[in-house]
Amino acid sequence: MTVTATPIPMLSDNYSWLLRESVSGKVAIVDPAEAAPAIAAIEAAGGKLDMILLTHHHADHVDGVPALVARYHPVVVGNAADAHRLPNLDIAVHEGDTVDFGATKARVIDTPGHTLGHISYYIADGGILLPGDTLFSLGCGRLFEGTAKDMFHSMAKYEDLPDSTLVCAGHEYTASNAKFALAMDPDNRALQERAAEVAALRAAGKPTLPVTLGVERATNPFLRAPDAETFGKLRTAKDHF
Ligand code: ZN
Ligand code: FE
């Protein structure tokens, strides 16, 4: 494993992720909402930034980009379909493309639902999934642009990934997601254990991410929904919870 991912807290509940590839020493950052905490993390990691990976166009995922580009001149990667609404885009990618990251590659997975142009990245070397606002621990993103069917099929694209995959999501929503998940699935033992772990982590001021896809498969009601209709009902229930 040559790639490591570290969460950088931003705004009130966002995570940007700092990625390091140890063979080449390349550094990338995912969805920088703000420049200042990104710069602090980049300086602590050696003071260079080679690449910015963007999952979608929302301000809380891209607003740090212009200042980071001006300071470090990284290559900015994002969805070709959203080229008109992503700042400083250099490499416009499509479903199935691979993006070089030092000695390894990140694969692009098209995951519409939260927004229509939302993509995820998967780095097999290190087992890192960057789902942006598609998949959260014990939850999923709101449907701002896509339908429940879109989102269900997007999340189904993660099915081929190993249980050991590290889910490096865009928000620290886990504690509130746990309340909803427990209300939907009160007898789920794995969920009860995860909820207790989440409460302890948050009480200690620690992130609940990354979490493994294996844990999410056992606990996340949205990942466990058997079909798009059930998924849609859950999403509507969560919106009003
Ligand atoms: Zn978003
Ligand atoms: Fe967001």
Ligand with an atom nearest the CA of residue 16: 2
Please give the distance, rounded to the nearest whole angstrom, from the Cα atom of residue 103 to the centre of ligand 2: 29
For each successive 10 residues of the chain (241 residues), what is the average pLDDT? 94 98 97 98 97 98 98 98 98 98 97 98 97 98 98 98 98 98 98 98 98 98 98 98 95
Catalytic residue ranges? 56, 58, 60-61, 114, 133, 171
Please give the distance, rounded to the nearest whole angstrom, from the Cα atom of residue 114 to the centre of ligand 1: 7
Please give the distance, rounded to the nearest whole angstrom, from the Cα atom of residue 171 to the centre of ligand 2: 7
Query: Are the C-beta atoms of residues 148 and 228 closer than 8 Å to each other?
Result: yes
Ligand with an atom nearest the CA of residue 144: 1
For residue 1, what pLDDT is reported? 67
Ligand with an atom nearest the CA of residue 170: 2
For residue 185, what pLDDT is reported? 97
Question: What domains can be seen in the chain, in order of their start residue?
Answer: 3-239 (3.60.15.10)
The residues placing their C-beta within 5 Å of ligand 2, an ion, are 60, 133
Name the burial class of residue 104, with classes exposed (0-12), middle (13-18) and buried (19+) by CB atoms within 10 angstroms of its CB. Answer: buried
**156 to 66, 184, 200, 234: CA distances (angstroms):** 33, 20, 30, 16
**226 to 65, 95, 152: CA distances (angstroms):** 38, 24, 9
What is the distance between the terminal CA atoms of the chain, rounded to a whole angstrom?
Answer: 40
According to DSSP, the residues that pair with 26 across neighbouring strands are 21
Please give the distance, rounded to the nearest whole angstrom, from the Cα atom of residue 99 to the centre of ligand 2: 23
For residue 33, what pLDDT is reported? 98
Please give the distance, rounded to the nearest whole angstrom, from the Cα atom of residue 189 to the centre of ligand 1: 30
**162 to 124, 128, 136: CA distances (angstroms):** 9, 10, 17
Please give the distance, rounded to the nearest whole angstrom, from the Cα atom of residue 187 to the centre of ligand 1: 31
pTM (2 d.p.):
0.98
Ligand with an atom nearest the CA of residue 173: 2
Please give the distance, rounded to the nearest whole angstrom, from the Cα atom of residue 165 to the centre of ligand 1: 22
Q: How far is CA 4 from the centre of its chain?
A: 14
